[in-house]
Chain A
Amino acid sequence: ETGVTQSPTHLIKTRGQQVTLRCSSQSGHNTVSWYQQALGQGPQFIFQYYREEENGRGNFPPRFSGLQFPNYSSELNVNALELDDSALYLCASSRESIYGYTFGSGTRLTVV
């Protein structure tokens, strides 16, 4: 059973650019959620996808968007990057979202 995998592991972007982060969910999981973790803080919920539909969104602007594919993998897209977007982005998957979540190792994004 493979776990949650994220790519890339590290990324440096310039303010104003766009970025796409990718996540492969754990085998058998149909729910994927994304979190942003700033340095020294707990993860903050961005949004969740269940069977390719967004079913929950946190307090993030529309320039944060996502997709879930038929194989339940997912992308997080961030447009018009700002310096404050520098953070660790974590992907988590679950079976039906009523069970526990398994997290990936994260993508560390630096915006300069």
Chain B
Amino acid sequence: GIQVEQSPPDLILQEGANSTLRCNFSDSVNNLQWFHQNPWGQLINLFYIPSGTKQNGRLSATTVATERYSLLYISSSQTTDSGVYFCAVKGVGTASKLTFGTGTRLQVTL
């Protein structure tokens, strides 16, 4: 099955700093989503981005499908950005399964 790797596994930032999270995947995908999991466990959808670039406020994401990677940019980080960020993909020809990476745990400090 498709493999998803995220880096870095852990990240500590001071409030106001910028960061880039990376997601590499091993095969062609027709669905890629970035999620933020809050301390209560809810997965909040940040971007649906199987290709191209999107922006939403301080967050933006780029997926280069031909090179099998995606990047999530967080600018001017805030303490509320803390949590675990997951990349999840669905391989071409897969009707159902989203495969998640192992996540990046982000801690934003004052």
**Chain A CB within 10 Å — which of B98, B99, B102 has the most?**
B98
> Contact size class for A?
20 to 34
Interface 0/1 of B34-49, CB less than 8 Å to A: 0100001111110010
Count residues of chain B with CB under 8 A from any CB of chain A: 23
- Our count of residue pairs bridging A and B at CB distance below 8 angstroms stands at 67
Docked pose: A97 CA to B31 CA in angstroms:
9
Main secondary structure of the interface of A (DSSP, over half): strand
Q: Once the chains bind, are A103 and B102 in contact (CB under 8 Å)?
A: no
Docked pose: A103 CA to B1 CA in angstroms:
23
Q: Can you report 11 residue pairs joining A to B where beta carbons are below 8 Å apart?
A: A42-B86, A42-B101, A42-B103, A43-B86, A45-B99, A47-B96, A56-B94, A56-B95, A103-B42, A105-B41, A105-B42
* 10 nearest A-B pairs in the assembled complex, by CB-CB distance: A56-B96, A100-B48, A42-B100, A48-B96, A103-B43, A45-B97, A105-B42, A106-B41, A88-B41, A43-B100
